[in-house]
Amino acid sequence: MRKRTMLCCSVLVLTSVLATPTITFAEDYASQIQEKSRAIEQHQQQIESNNQLLESLNAQKEENTGNLTSLISEMEKTEKEVAHLQQTIQQTQEDISKLEDEISYLKDAIAKRAVKIEAQVRYMQTDSPGDSFLEAIWTSESIVEAFEKMFAMAELTSASQTTLKQQKEDKEAVERKHQELNTQLASQGQRASELQQLVLEQANRRTQLETTIANLQSQSETANSQNAELQAQVAKAQELITTYKQQEEERRQAEQQSAIAARLSQENNHVASTLVRTEPSAAVVNTTQVSPVDNTSVEVPIVQSAGYISGGGHYASPSPSYIAAVNGGVPGQCTWYVYNRVAQLGAPIPYRKMGNGGEWGTYARSYGYTVTNTPQAGTIVSFTSSVPGMSYYGHVAFVESVNPDGSIVVSEMNVQGAFVISTRTIPASTAALGQYIHVGL
């Protein structure tokens, strides 16, 4: 009675520790995960939309930046043209100024020359011109000299006329040049006005492009900032989903532990009410570290019978502290013990899936083990649920020896309680209904 009380307390403590989830119901986890998944999907859609916007903004920035680069190049050319035109206008103005000086000089020379010629003509016409010619003749020493003097007088008048004519022609040429330069200066002035207007237009276009680029950059920064915030929210939501899943797994494992405790209790009640037990004369309680199904290390009591029968097989006594490297059984049950027992004796089972106790024969055949109905020491005996007195899950044990009357001596677990290793003799009538798995012992 005391032994059963200790076992019940241990199972209750183990169950109460493992069965405390953070969120009570599975639908709460599913609802939270679904909510966060929807949020992640919405955020990712917004991120994708922002990425498309960023592609468009980047394309527009690239286009406008190219236009701005071209415009700046055009503005530099315009500035050079304006500077060159200013130099040209200045030179034209200087040339016009020189021509005006030249025109002024020619006008003055022509005027003086005209006055002089006019005086000569008037002298020759009114001031006894004949006397002059006669005087030139009479004063000449010869006819040749007279003709020379007369020719010289005529040549002088003709030269004055020629000079006057040439000066007038020069004046006309200079005036034409002056007119041409004035026309050229007017054209240059018109071009200067056009260039000034072009400079203003280019400056306005540059301002517009720079404003557009700045706006596009601002929109890009806003979209990138939104994406960073959305990505942070996605990461947080994913982290929460992971947390919810972990909590759900903990809840599931807690429920599993509760089910195991109920299953252990049910199997123990069925087996205890029907099978013959070999009660130990005394019990030694040890504590060892075992790994339950949720892989969480807990301290659980292990009770070993002090009246083990090694029997005809002469196998080493079961070690309550030995745990197989590969163990697919549920801790504390018969399946868990048999994994440990055959591994302790040097014939470990490499397969984690052997099913419930009554399913071991079927799984063993599928893995290539020899399975017979003949009791033999060193084999694993599996009883299906159809065998009288067996639980819903069946039972499995290790055959330590076989008696001459066909009964078998087995070592097993969970007949006297979870994690309790015990030995007993099973009658020949029941032993004949078992399946015996040969593992090479």
More confident residue, 21 or 375: 375
Mean pLDDT within 390-396: 94
Structure tokens at 85: 């035109």
The per-residue pLDDT for 278 is: 39
pLDDT tens track for 199-242: 999 999 999 999 999 999 999 999 999 999 999 999 998 888 88
Task: Classify burial at 98, counting beta carbons within 10 Å of its beta carbon; exposed 0-12, middle 13-18, buried 19 or more.
Answer: middle
Model confidence band, residue 172 (pLDDT cutoffs 50, 70, 90): confident
Model confidence band, residue 96 (pLDDT cutoffs 50, 70, 90): confident
Alpha-carbon gap, residue 254 to 243, rounded angstroms: 16
The per-residue pLDDT for 417 is: 92
Torsion, Cα 51 56 60 65, to 10 degrees, reads 30
Q: Is-contact 386 362, C-beta < 8 A?
A: no
Structure tokens at 39: 């949020």
The per-residue pLDDT for 262 is: 66
Q: Phi, psi at residue 25, to the nearest 5°?
A: -110, 150
Q: Is-contact 375 431, C-beta < 8 A?
A: yes
The amino acid at residue 219 is: Q
What is the chain's mean pLDDT, rounded? 79
Model confidence band, residue 350 (pLDDT cutoffs 50, 70, 90): very high
More confident residue, 279 or 349: 349
Range 278-438 classified under CATH 3.20.20.20: no
Alpha-carbon gap, residue 424 to 365, rounded angstroms: 26
Whether the per-residue pLDDT at 178 is higher than 50: the answer is: yes
Q: Within 10 A of 233 (CB to CB), how many other CB atoms are there?
A: 17
pLDDT tens track for 250-286: 776 677 666 656 655 665 565 455 444 433 333 333 3
* H-assigned helices in 381-437: 428-431
Whether the per-residue pLDDT at 307 is higher than 60: the answer is: no
The per-residue pLDDT for 312 is: 65
Q: Which DSSP symbol is given to 378?
A: T
Question: In the chain, which segments carry CATH 3.90.1720.10?
Answer: 278-438
**CATH class entry, domain 40-235:** mainly alpha
Q: Is-contact 361 372, C-beta < 8 A?
A: no
Whether the per-residue pLDDT at 72 is higher than 60: the answer is: yes
DSSP one-letter string for 8-27: HHHHHHHHHHHT--SSS-HH
**Phi-psi region for residue 406, left (φ > 0), alpha (ψ -120 to 50) or beta?**
left
